[in-house]
A and B are shown apart, each in its own frame.
Chain A
């Protein structure tokens, strides 16, 4: 490892991603995330935010560069990506709950099958997590019988059930009706307060201001600018100014 001390839990260096169709989605993106840090990524549509987030648990492979996550070198042939993913939870814009399982069933599945936890323990922990995200009375509902906000909270609980060291969020509130955004952001704030390392792609500037330790601005596949929230939003960077002018 190069410039990373033992507190850096994500170290991405000069990451390039070229999709098979030739789209150059990431251009020399470097980012270091410390343990317990909350990093928010913002940027216009198509700037490569999702792509970058997805390289961190190798849902996308990278074309060049290096990524070390939780001590695992993703480029190494000896890294079992499934072990990395156990430690890196991911929450999607479209929830992606398993529709054939109840809320509790969604949360329990991976602890049961991947971590081989006993049924009873997985269920107890699952109930506790669902209780924490405010779904104590919805455990046995199927996803189709839950609101968007409830589904996203189940998805967060499902990722937390693997006891990850890092949580990745890809626009977790973008598919929600406005009145449900708050309940999901509240869960995320609690999580941040508990010291979880989080990388969050979002358009919620309020969340970035309030919760983030650092905000990152991406544009056209490049990481343009990163700074602490107060300095970030008062920055005079012209590309950032242009973007913030459009969204705020």
Chain B
């Protein structure tokens, strides 16, 4: 009972601190005379834009089908009939004579704003990099444990080189040097840099995961007639994967965050989109908070998915 009260008390303390933080941010923005304009943000995520549909030629409205939202326009000069579908507002009725350029209908267009496009780009670049990073990490991790010195030294060299230099520098090298030599576009160069960078960290996770499996597992698998590859695929890696899921999740989340650095090579990811929106809205606080929130949504969804997976894999415990 006593502890329960205590718990409640500290939860209240937590909420109080969070409130203070919020108030603090608000007050400090007042102090620097900042006017919050949150209403400007949504349009950069999604906007509804009216699209005017104009007559392409002189003619008459031959048919209006209200139910199917479809009108047909016949030309005076023998052009093919012009058909408009899925309009939201109609400006003519059946039999009307129209001239070229007249507005005959309006459509409402849902447009994704730059922040949404940025989010999609960030998602795309992270997902593609992740796939390659996993492949690189798996093979380098295995090479790291190989008895072949060439493979072992190669993997160690790669891991040390990548972990010893900043990602930003690697992105520049990939874009300006390797990208020029191999004629890579921005996206490919960005993905390559992120995959190679993350792959080095995943390799270390894979190595430690495999090493954490009791050698008896490999012996049991081999003594049943499996070759090394079969033993790895069916016995060692499934166990290692389960054990390395938490550090892998951390690495995936890092990858999403690290992807913001590709904005330096003019890939319009979420961060670059944020910068562009700031320059057109003059609402930097709101934009950066919104961008942070969007990153949080991505990373949060990923954490959640991996936790689900962990629960499912825990069935054998």
**Chain A residues within CB distance 8 Å of chain B:** 57, 59, 82-83, 85-86, 88-90, 92, 94, 96-102, 109-110, 113-115, 142-144, 155, 158-159, 162
Q: Given A94-B216, A96-B214, A99-B239: A142 and B224 within 8 A (CB)?
A: no
Alpha-carbon gap, A6 to B188, bound state (A) = 65
Alpha-carbon gap, A155 to B221, bound state (A) = 11
Query: Is residue B225 contacting chain A, with contact meaning CB distance below 8 A?
Result: yes
Alpha-carbon gap, A85 to B216, bound state (A) = 15
Q: Is the Cβ of A98 less than 8 Å from the Cβ of B217?
A: yes
Alpha-carbon gap, A63 to B315, bound state (A) = 44
Alpha-carbon gap, A162 to B225, bound state (A) = 9
Query: Is residue B43 contacting chain A, with contact meaning CB distance below 8 A?
Result: no
Instruction: Tell me the dominant secondary structure on chain B's binding face.
Output: helix
- Residues on the A chain within 8 Å of B242, using CB: 100
Interface core residue of A86, A88, A98 (most chain B CB under 10 Å): A98
Q: Is the Cβ of A85 less than 8 Å from the Cβ of B224?
A: yes
CB distance from A179 to the nearest CB of B (A): 24
Q: Tell me the number of A-to-B contacts counted with CB atoms below 8 Å.
A: 71
- Residues on the A chain within 8 Å of B24, using CB: none
Q: Is the Cβ of A113 less than 8 Å from the Cβ of B219?
A: no
Q: A98 contacts which of B222, B227, B235, B317 (Cβ < 8 Å)?
A: B235
Q: Is the Cβ of B239 less than 8 Å from the Cβ of A100?
A: yes
Alpha-carbon gap, A98 to B217, bound state (A) = 7
Q: Given A113-B234, A144-B316: A96 and B222 within 8 A (CB)?
A: no
Query: Is residue B281 contacting chain A, with contact meaning CB distance below 8 A?
Result: no
Query: Is residue B223 contacting chain A, with contact meaning CB distance below 8 A?
Result: yes
Q: Is the Cβ of B317 less than 8 Å from the Cβ of A144?
A: yes
**Chain B residues within CB distance 8 Å of chain A:** 214, 216-217, 219-227, 230, 234-235, 238-239, 242, 315-317
- Residues on the A chain within 8 Å of B223, using CB: 57, 59, 85, 88-90, 159
Q: Is the Cβ of A114 less than 8 Å from the Cβ of B214?
A: no
CB distance from A198 to the nearest CB of B (A): 15
Q: Is the Cβ of A96 less than 8 Å from the Cβ of B224?
A: no
- Residues on the B chain within 8 Å of A101, using CB: 316
CB distance from B298 to the nearest CB of A (A): 30
Q: Is the Cβ of A110 less than 8 Å from the Cβ of B224?
A: yes
Question: Closest A-chain residue to B239, C-beta based?
Answer: A100
Alpha-carbon gap, A202 to B159, bound state (A) = 46
CB distance from A175 to the nearest CB of B (A): 11
- Residues on the B chain within 8 Å of A162, using CB: 224-225
Can you report 14 residue pairs joining A to B where beta carbons are below 8 Å apart?
A: A82-B225, A82-B227, A85-B224, A85-B225, A89-B224, A90-B220, A96-B214, A97-B220, A100-B242, A102-B316, A109-B224, A109-B234, A144-B316, A159-B223
